[in-house]
Amino acid sequence: MQSSNNLILKTTTTIIVFVILAFSVNMLFSGHNAPGGGFIGGLMGAGGFLLLYISYGLQPVHRILPINFTYMIAAGLLIAVLTGAGSFLLGVPFLSHTFAYFHFPLLGKTELATAMLFDLGVYLTVIGVTMTIILSIAEDKIEREAEEGN
Amino acid sequence: MLHFYIFLPFLAALLIGISAKRVSRIHTGWFVLPVPVVLFILFSTKMPILAEGKIVQSVANWIPSLDIQLSFYLDGLSMLFSLLITGIGSLVVLYSIFYLSKKEQLVHFYVYLLIFMGSMLGVVLSDNVFVLYTFWEFTSISSFLLIGFWFYREKSTYGAQKSMLVTVFGGLSMLGALILLSITAETNSIRTMIANRSEIIESNLFIPILILLLLGAFTKSAQFPFHSWLPDAMEAPTPVSAYLHSATMVKAGIYLVARFSLIFSGSDEFFIIVSGIGLITLCIGSFLASRQTDLKGILAYSTISQLGMIMTMLGFGTGAAALAAIFHIFNHATFKGSLFMIAGIVDHETGTRDIRRLGGLYTFMPISATLAFFGAFSMAGIPLPIFNGFLSKEMFFDSSLKLEQTSGFAGLFAEWAPILAVIGSIFTFVYSMYLVFGTFTGKAKLGQLEKKPHEAPIGMLISPIILIVFVVLVGLLPNLINEPLLAPAVASITGDFAITHLAFWHGFNTPLYMSLIVVVIGTILAFTLKKWQPIYNAIPGKFSSDYWYQSLINGLLKFSSVFTKSYMTGSLRLYTSIILVFLTASTSIFIYVTDGFKISFDDLAPVTWPEVLVGFVMAVAAIATIWMTQRIAAIIVIGVVGYGLSLLFVFFRAPDLALTQLIVETITVALFLLCFTHLPKLKKSDKKSSEKLVDFVIAASTGALLTIVAISSHSSKYFDSIAKYFVDNSYELGGGDNIVNVILVDFRGLDTLFEIAVLGLAALGIFAMIKYRDKGDMNH
C-alpha cells in the first residue's frame, strides 16, 4: 500500500470514494426497510476507506483522516450497549426498541427508530474491526519490508 | 457425652497447632498427654454400665436430609477398642516425649497423632455407617501423614504412598459395601442393620456386600494379599508404629469384621473367606518374619500374622472363638506395643535396627531386655501361665478344634484349620525367639554400632513396663479383665451376654499338647535357623506381594503413559480425524438405532437450471482445491465457492445475505492473499496412499453423514416455523420492512450485540498479536 504515481487510479479514487461512502451511509439508513443495514453498510464503508489507502498509501491518508479505527470499535460497541441499556430508563427489558413517525421540514414524514441507533453501533464496530485488522497487517508488512531493506 | 470424647482430640489438635510454638521450652508432648489420659479415665468410668449389659449412646444431627446422624454408642466392643486407643495412646505419647527430640517438627507430629486418635475413636464408636466411613478415611489420611513424617526420606514417602493407595482402595470398596448395606437394610444405623439382619442375608446383594466390606477390612488390617503396605509403613517414627501399626489402626479392619459379624457370621462364605484369608495371613506373615533383618520389619510381619490369627477366630464365628479373638486383641496390643517400644529404644540407643549388627545387648540394657523377653514369650505363646499370649493361643487352638462346620467345602476346611493354626504358631515361635535372642544374647558387636549402647532413660521405659505389667497380670489373673471388659465385648459379637470363666490353667488337654508341639518344633527350628534360612532365598521374588504391588503400579503407569501417548501425539490432523470419526460414528449409530433417517419429497422447491449450474461450479471448485499445488491458486479457487454461494443467496431471494457474503468473501480472500504470501510454498504431501485413503474415507463419510442429517431434518418437520410471526409483525412491531434487519437489530438484537462484540475482540486480538509480537524478545 505504498503511494505510487498512478494518476488515473488516484483521480478515479477521489471520485469513487465519495460514491462508495455515500452508498454505505445510504445502506445504513435504508436498512430498516430495504436490503442493507449496519453490517453491510459498515463493510462497504471500510471498502471505501481501503480504496483510499490503496491509492494514496498509509501515511498520507492518515494525515488527512486521523481516525483511530481501534477506538471506533469501542465507540460502536458502546453505542450498541447504551442503546440497549437506554430501555431500562423506561422500565422495559434490555434492548427493547421503539419507533415513531415525525414530520420534519424538507424531509417530510420520517420514521425515527431506536433500532437505528443500535445499527449505528454495528456500523461503527464493523468499520473499526475491518480497518483495524487490515491496517495492522499492512503496517506490519511495511515495517518488516523496511527492516529487511536496511 | 460421647461427642465430647470423640471431638476432644480434634479440639486439642487445633489448640496445639495454634499455640504450641509459643511455648518452645517445654516438649509439646506434655501438653498432649492429658488428652488420652483424661479420655481413658472417662471411658473407664463407663465400664460398670456395660458390665450390666447396657450401652451408652448419644445422637446429634449432621445431615438429617440424608439420614446421616452423628450417632455414637458405646458397647462392649467399642469400649475395648476405646480403652486400647486411649490407654496405649497415653503410653505412646509419654514414650514419644522421650523418643522424639525437640528438633523434630513436634507440632506436626502431635497434630497428626491427635487427629488419628480422634478418628479412631470415631470409627469404633459410630453407629451411622457413613460417619464410620468418614472417620475411617480420616485414619487413613492421618496414618499417611504419620508414615511420611520424615518426608525428606524417600522410603518414608514411598511407604506413606503405598499405605495410602492400599488402604484407600479398601476404604472405597468398604464405602460401596456400606451403601449397598444401607440400601438393602433401608437404614444407616449399624444396630438397626443387625436387628434386621435377615433382610440382608436373604437379599441377593449379600455376596457383593460381604466381599466389598471384607476388602475394606483386609486392606486396613494388612491381610493377605494386601499385607505388603505394613512392612513399608515401618519407616514411620517408632511411636507411630507402636500405636498405629500394632495396637489400633490395623485393628480397625478387625473391628469392622467383629462389628458386622452378627450379620454375616454363620454363612459359609463368611467363614471360608475370613478364616481362610486369616489362616493364610497367619502362616505367611509368621513364615516371612524370620526372613527380616530389621527389628521393626520382624515386628511388622509378626503383626500381620497375629492379625491373621485374630481374623481367623472371628471367622470361626463360635462364642468361644469370639472370646479368644477379643482376648487376643487385647493381648496383642499389650505385648506388640511394648515390643515396638523396645525396638525403638534399641534403635535410639545403638543407632541401628539391623538384627545382624545387634547382639549381646543384655548386659548393656538389662531392663529393656527383660521386658523384651516377656513380650516375645507372650507373643510366642510359651506354655507358662504368666503370659497372656499363651492363654489366648490356647483358646485359639481350642476353638479351631471345636468347629461345627461339617459339610461341604467348609467342613473340609474346618478339618484343616487346626493344622494350619499349629504351623502358623510354630513360625510365630521361631521369629519371636529370633527377635529376642538375636538382639539381646550372643556376642556384642560394639564395633558395628554407631553409639555405645546403654540403658534408655526411665521416661522411655515407663510405657513398655506398664504394658508388660499388663501382660503378666492378665496372664496370671485373666478374670481381672474378663468380666468388666471382655464379656461385654463378646456380647456385641455374639449377641448374647454370657460370662465365660477364663481358666488360669486348662489342665492337660489337646490344646496344651498342640502348644507343646509348637514349642518343641519351634525350638528345633529356632536353633537351626541359620541352616534353613537360605530357603528364603529360594523363594522367587514373584511370589511376594511387594512384587505384585510394584508391577501393578508400574504396569498402570506404563499402560496409561502408552495409552495417552498413542492418541495425544500433538498432531492436530490426528485430533481432527478422531473428532470427525467420533462424530460420524456416534451420529450414525444414533440415526440407525432410532431409525432417524427419513426422506420425503413433499414441500420441495422446483430446481432451476441456474441453480444447478452454480452448484456444479461450486462443487468442482471445492474438489479442485484439493489438487492445487500453490496456496494462491487454492485461495482463489476457494473464492469461487464463496461467490457461488452469494449467487445462490440471490437465487434464494436473500439480498442481505448475498450482499454480506459477497463483501465478506472479498475481504477474506484479500486477507488470505495478504497473509499467505508470508508462508512457504506448499509442500507436496508425503503421505502414503493408505493414509490418504483413510483421510478420504473419513472425509467422505462425514460428508455423507451431514447430507443424511440435512435430508432427514428437512424431511421430518414436526411443527411450523416461527417465521410467520416475523413476517406478520415486522412492520407493526419493528417499524421496518426489511424483516432480516428487523430481526437482527430488534427481535434478536442481543445476538447481534454479541456478534459485534466477537468481531471487536477478534480485531483487538489480531491487533495485539501483531503489534506486541516482538515485545517478549525485547524484554529478555
Residue B688, judged by CB atoms within 10 A of its CB (0-12, 13-18, 19+), counts as exposed
> Which of A95, A120, A126 should be substituted to probe chain B, the one whose Cβ sees the most B Cβ atoms within 10 Å?
A95
Which pLDDT belongs to residue A126?
93
pLDDT of residue B500 exceeding 80, the answer is no
pLDDT band, very low/low/confident/very high, at B620 (cuts 50, 70, 90): very high
Q: pLDDT digit string (tens) for B669-695? A: 888 877 777 777 766 666 777 788 888
Q: Say what percent of chain B tops pLDDT 70.
A: 95
Cα A60 to its chain centre, rounded Å, is 19
pLDDT of residue B60 exceeding 70, the answer is yes
What residue in A sits closest to B665 (Cα-Cα)? A43
> Is A134 within 8 Å of B671 when comparing Cβ atoms?
yes
- Please tell me whether residues B725 and B712 are part of one structural domain: no
Q: pLDDT digit string (tens) for B197-246? A: 888 888 888 888 889 999 999 999 888 888 888 888 888 888 898 888 87
> Is A99 within 8 Å of B762 when comparing Cβ atoms?
no
Residues of chain B positioned with their CB less than 8 A from the CB of A71: none
Number of independent structural domains in chain B: 4
Residues 733-762 of B with CB under 8 A from A: 734-738, 740-742, 744-746, 749-750, 752-753, 756-757, 759-760, 762
> Is A140 within 8 Å of B745 when comparing Cβ atoms?
no
- Please tell me whether residues B708 and B733 are part of one structural domain: no
pLDDT of residue B776 exceeding 60, the answer is no
| CA–CA separation, B251 and B261 (whole Å) | 15
Q: Where are the domains of chain A?
A: 7-149
- Please tell me whether residues B490 and B536 are part of one structural domain: yes
* A33, A73, A140: residue with CB nearest B736: A33
pLDDT of residue B495 exceeding 80, the answer is no
Q: Say what percent of chain B tops pLDDT 90.
A: 17
pLDDT of residue B472 exceeding 90, the answer is no
| CA–CA separation, B370 and B461 (whole Å) | 11
> Is A129 within 8 Å of B763 when comparing Cβ atoms?
yes
Per-residue DSSP letters for B492-511? HHHSS---PPPPS---SSHH
How high does pLDDT run on average in chain B? 84
pLDDT band, very low/low/confident/very high, at A129 (cuts 50, 70, 90): very high
Q: How far A144 CA sits from the closest chain B CA (Å)?
A: 11
What residue in A sits closest to B754 (Cα-Cα)? A77
- Per-residue cell: B399: 476353638
What residue in A sits closest to B767 (Cα-Cα)? A136
- Please tell me whether residues B724 and B674 are part of one structural domain: no
> Is B734 within 8 Å of A97 when comparing Cβ atoms?
yes
- On whether the CB atoms of residues B176 and B212 are closer than 8 A, the answer is yes
* A33, A36, A128: residue with CB nearest B763: A128
Residues of chain A positioned with their CB less than 8 A from the CB of B670: 134
Residues of chain A positioned with their CB less than 8 A from the CB of B659: 35-36, 40
Q: Is residue B470 part of a domain?
A: yes
A126 or B450: which leads in pLDDT: A126
| CA–CA separation, B147 and B143 (whole Å) | 6
Q: Is residue B308 part of a domain?
A: no
pLDDT of residue B774 exceeding 70, the answer is no
| CA–CA separation, B465 and B146 (whole Å) | 25
pLDDT of residue B172 exceeding 60, the answer is yes
pLDDT band, very low/low/confident/very high, at B515 (cuts 50, 70, 90): confident
- Per-residue cell: B453: 549402647
> Is B742 within 8 Å of A99 when comparing Cβ atoms?
no
Residues of chain A positioned with their CB less than 8 A from the CB of B660: 39-40, 43
pLDDT of residue A91 exceeding 70, the answer is yes
- Please tell me whether residues B585 and B655 are part of one structural domain: yes
- On whether the CB atoms of residues B315 and B271 are closer than 8 A, the answer is yes
Three-class DSSP labels, B18-30: HHHHHCCCCCCHH
Cβ–Cβ contact B266 with A under 8 A: no
| CA–CA separation, B423 and B517 (whole Å) | 10
pLDDT of residue B488 exceeding 70, the answer is yes
| CA–CA separation, B638 and B644 (whole Å) | 10
Q: pLDDT digit string (tens) for B253-278? A: 999 988 888 888 778 788 888 888 88
Torsion of CA B674, B678, B683, B687, to 10 degrees: -80
pLDDT band, very low/low/confident/very high, at B505 (cuts 50, 70, 90): low
Cβ–Cβ contact B674 with A under 8 A: yes
B92 or B746: which leads in pLDDT: B92
Q: Is residue B211 part of a domain?
A: no
- Please tell me whether residues B132 and B238 are part of one structural domain: yes
pLDDT of residue B719 exceeding 90, the answer is no
pLDDT band, very low/low/confident/very high, at A145 (cuts 50, 70, 90): confident
> Is A32 within 8 Å of B741 when comparing Cβ atoms?
yes
> Which of B759, B764, B772, B775 should be substituted to probe chain A, the one whose Cβ sees the most A Cβ atoms within 10 Å?
B759
| CA–CA separation, B355 and B746 (whole Å) | 88
Residues of chain A positioned with their CB less than 8 A from the CB of B675: 137
Residues of chain B positioned with their CB less than 8 A from the CB of A84: 749-750, 753
- Please tell me whether residues B33 and B182 are part of one structural domain: yes
Q: Is residue B278 part of a domain?
A: no
Residues of chain A positioned with their CB less than 8 A from the CB of B738: 31-37
At position A109, the amino acid (one-letter code) is: K
* A39, A74, A137: residue with CB nearest B660: A39
- Please tell me whether residues B738 and B710 are part of one structural domain: no
* B231 cis-preceded (ω within 30 degrees of 0): no
| CA–CA separation, B289 and B430 (whole Å) | 9
Q: Is residue B221 part of a domain?
A: no
* A33, A70, A122: residue with CB nearest B738: A33
Q: Is the reported ipTM for this assembly greater than 0.85?
A: yes
In total, the C-beta contacts within 8 angstroms joining chain A to chain B are: 135
Mean pLDDT of B594-599: 82
Mean pLDDT of B9-21: 83
| CA–CA separation, B568 and B564 (whole Å) | 6
pLDDT of residue B540 exceeding 90, the answer is no
What residue in A sits closest to B677 (Cα-Cα)? A141
- Please tell me whether residues B711 and B739 are part of one structural domain: no
- Please tell me whether residues B47 and B182 are part of one structural domain: yes
pLDDT band, very low/low/confident/very high, at A96 (cuts 50, 70, 90): confident
pLDDT of residue B348 exceeding 70, the answer is yes
> Is B671 within 8 Å of A111 when comparing Cβ atoms?
no
> Is B749 within 8 Å of A95 when comparing Cβ atoms?
yes
> Is B660 within 8 Å of A140 when comparing Cβ atoms?
no
Which pLDDT belongs to residue B225?
84
- Please tell me whether residues B595 and B713 are part of one structural domain: yes
* A32, A40, A141: residue with CB nearest B660: A40
> Which of A33, A39, A95, A143 should be substituted to probe chain B, the one whose Cβ sees the most B Cβ atoms within 10 Å?
A39
Per-residue DSSP letters for chain A? ------HHHHHHHHHHHHHHHHHHHHHHHHTTTSS--HHHHHHHHHHHHHHHHHHH-HHHHHHHS---HHHHHHHHHHHHHHHHHHHHHTT--TT---EEEEEETTTEEEEEEHHHHHHHHHHHHHHHHHHHHHHHHHHHHHHHHHHHH-
Cα B758 to its chain centre, rounded Å, is 47
Domain range for B766 is 720-780
Mean pLDDT of B128-137: 92
Cβ–Cβ contact B662 with A under 8 A: no
* A31, A47, A122: residue with CB nearest B752: A122
Mean pLDDT of B268-295: 86
Least confident span in A32-46, B42-56, B402-416: B402-416
> Is B741 within 8 Å of A44 when comparing Cβ atoms?
no
> Is A138 within 8 Å of B674 when comparing Cβ atoms?
yes
pLDDT band, very low/low/confident/very high, at B506 (cuts 50, 70, 90): low
pLDDT band, very low/low/confident/very high, at B560 (cuts 50, 70, 90): very high
Which pLDDT belongs to residue B479?
78
Residues of chain A positioned with their CB less than 8 A from the CB of B757: 77
> Is B764 within 8 Å of A70 when comparing Cβ atoms?
yes
Q: How far A5 CA sits from the closest chain B CA (Å)?
A: 22
Which pLDDT belongs to residue B107?
85
> Is A99 within 8 Å of B735 when comparing Cβ atoms?
yes
Cβ–Cβ contact B659 with A under 8 A: yes
Mean pLDDT of B49-65: 83
Q: How far A50 CA sits from the closest chain B CA (Å)?
A: 11
Q: pLDDT digit string (tens) for A98-122? A: 777 777 776 677 777 788 888 899 9
> Is A118 within 8 Å of B667 when comparing Cβ atoms?
no
DSSP lists the bridge partners of residue B63 as B68
- Please tell me whether residues B587 and B687 are part of one structural domain: yes
* A31, A81, A137: residue with CB nearest B753: A81
At position B72, the amino acid (one-letter code) is: F
Residues of chain A positioned with their CB less than 8 A from the CB of B749: 84, 95, 97, 115, 118
pLDDT band, very low/low/confident/very high, at B380 (cuts 50, 70, 90): confident
Least confident span in B150-164, B298-312, B410-424, B742-756: B410-424
Grid-cell match 458405646, residue found: B74
Which pLDDT belongs to residue B779?
46
Residues of chain B positioned with their CB less than 8 A from the CB of A77: 756-757, 760
Residues 6+ apart with CB under 8 A from B405: B268, B271, B411, B413, B414
Which pLDDT belongs to residue B685?
64
Q: Is residue B238 part of a domain?
A: yes
Which pLDDT belongs to residue B780?
41
